[in-house]
A = this chain, B = another copy of it.
Amino acid sequence: MIHMQLTEGQRKAIEAVNEFADKYFDEESIRQWCHSMGIPSYVYDAFYESPLGGYVLSKNAGGYDCPFLDRVTMLIEVTRRAGATLPFSSDMNSLAMFSTLRKLSQEEIVQEYAYTDGRIRFSQAFTEPNAGTDAQAVRAQISTDPDGIYLDGVKTFVSCGQFSPQTLVLARDPIYGQRDGGMSMWLVPINIEGVSTFPINTVGQEMLCPAAISFKHVKLKPSWQIQTEGKLNSMLKRQYGLGRILVCASSVGLALAAMDDAVAYAAEHEVKGRRLNSLPQIQEKLTDMEIKIRAMRMFVRDAAVAADERGSDFMLETALMKRFVPGAATEVASEALQIFGGVGYTDATRVSRIWQDCRGNQIAQGTDEVMAGIAAKGITQRAQSREF
């Protein structure tokens, strides 16, 4: 990125990250955190007590009143320094949900259940098997009988689903969801009867510890429903958009980490007496990686700015971003791995882990294939309005 493109806010976010990372991050620890599928409490606490916490928390929970771009910049840089997908990206996603709710609906329920000390207390149970990020395909179902309200269904890829005391469930609901096209949202404790959680072993991104949650005839209290007041659709639209930006920010951070390592490795190692970074084949790799990274940053930045400016109408920007960024990040990581050679395929380097982490983001929050449908609509509309 050329100098001018970093705002003062972004610079501050980067400095705060570097200060925190210098103190808490080293490769040995990161590897251990991946292995144990989570970061230790004291680091988690330190994060929220440090200036970084303010970029995760929403304003009314004590967070900064800053552009979304600053929050995104923090996530990019903290991921870059860790060289791994951090649970904070998932926290930010939940808090994005939270900010979405705040903007559009009532405060009390959220406040009561969601947090007390600024920590995330709920996971998001939106995705279902064979459904992906598509509200239309949701099959979890609310039903009533004289006894009460019941929830049945299965959710999957719920980040921290086993460890968050509540989970926010999206379900079909012909009764309470009438004003929202037959859908409703509920904040459900996971320690009640009928709720079971199962860990999911993914290829990478271990710190997100995703889970499947099944709900079998789970009795719900009416107060657990989130009052969406006919705005659920636009809330979800915005939430998916923000979620995509955060996933892509994480991808950019991972790609930057791979790039940092590859550039350093190519500057230090030789083959047959020639420094790696003087070989045309390595130079082409590094150049194409840099090209991809700059483009990735641009798409994330544009989408973040659009999210700030346009409520829930930034689908074109997020779809283009989501289609491009995660795949490009995997490519960058794969090239970095290749520059390392054999050792890149082992756990003696970060690049192998980064490559594995990157791959997951090509699926999370909507596949590349789904994005084309969304983007093409936006492209056609813009053409018809002859907008620049």
Cβ of A367 and Cβ of B341 under 8 Å apart? yes
For A260, the chain B residues whose CB sits under 8 A away are 383
A181: Cβ under 8 A from any B Cβ: no
Known pairs A287-B376, A338-B362; A129 contacts B294 (CB<8 A): no
**Interface check A223, CB cutoff 8 A:** no
Report whether A367 and B338 are in contact in the complex, using a CB–CB cutoff of 8 Å.
Answer: yes
Cβ B317 vs Cβ A2 within 8 A: yes
Nearest residue, chain B, Cβ from A320: B291
A130 touching B271 in the complex, CB below 8 Å, given contacts A342-B363, A346-B203: yes
Note all chain B residues with C-beta closer than 8 A to A302: 1-2, 5, 294
User: A172 at the A/B interface (Cβ < 8 Å)?
Assistant: no
Q: How many copies does the complex hold?
A: 4
For A362, what are the chain B residues with a Cβ–Cβ distance below 8 Å?
Answer: 338
Once the chains bind, are A376 and B286 in contact (CB under 8 Å)? Answer: yes
Tell me whether A116 is interfacial, beta carbon within 8 Å. Answer: no
Bound together, the chains give a CA A105 to CA B363 distance in angstroms of: 53
Tell whether, in the assembled complex, residue A305 and residue B352 are in contact, meaning their CB atoms are under 8 Å apart.
Answer: no
Chain A 133-146, CB-CB to B under 8 Å as 1, else 0, gives: 01011000000000
- Interchain CB contact under 8 A, A363 and B341: yes
- The 0/1 profile, CB within 8 Å of B marked 1, for residues 317-342 of chain A is 10110011000000000100110011
Q: Which of A26-59 contact B (CB under 8 A)?
A: none
The distance from the CB of A186 to the nearest CB of chain B, in whole angstroms, is 22
CB contacts (< 8 Å) of A291 on chain B: these are 299, 320, 323-324
User: Which of A95-103, A188-196, A274-282 lies at the interface with chain B?
Assistant: A274-282
List the B side residues contacting A264 at CB < 8 Å.
383
Convert A366-388 into 0s and 1s, putting 1 for each residue whose CB lies closer than 8 angstroms to a CB of B: 01110111011001100110001
Chain B residues lying within 8 Å of A388, measured Cβ to Cβ, are 1, 6, 14
B383→A342 contact, CB < 8 A: no
| Residues in B whose Cβ lies below 8 Å from that of A271 | 130, 137
The 8 Å CB contact of A263, one of B288, B294, B373, B380, is B380
Residue A122 lies at the interface, judged by CB distance under 8 Å to chain B: no
B305 lies within 8 A of A2 (CB): yes
Kindly state the separation between the CA atoms of A345 and B11 in the bound complex, as whole angstroms. Answer: 35
Is A283 a contact of B373 with CB atoms below 8 Å? Answer: yes
- CB of A178 closer than 8 Å to a CB of B: no
Cα of A324 to Cα of B296 in the assembled complex, Å: 14
Stretch at the interface among A213-221, A228-236, A237-245, A353-361: A353-361
A-B pairs, top 5 by smallest CB distance, nearest first, are A283-B376, A295-B295, A287-B375, A201-B347, A284-B372
Give 29 pairs: A residue, B residue, CB < 8 Å, sorted on A: A1-B302, A2-B305, A2-B317, A127-B342, A130-B269, A130-B270, A130-B341, A132-B342, A157-B342, A200-B346, A201-B346, A203-B356, A263-B383, A267-B383, A277-B376, A279-B280, A281-B281, A281-B369, A284-B369, A286-B372, A286-B380, A287-B319, A287-B375, A287-B376, A290-B320, A294-B298, A295-B298, A337-B359, A345-B363
Task: Taking A14-B388, A267-B383, A345-B363 as given, write out 9 further A-B residue pairs in contact, using a Cβ cutoff of 8 Å, ordered by the A residue number.
Answer: A5-B302, A130-B270, A203-B345, A260-B383, A263-B379, A263-B383, A280-B281, A294-B299, A338-B367
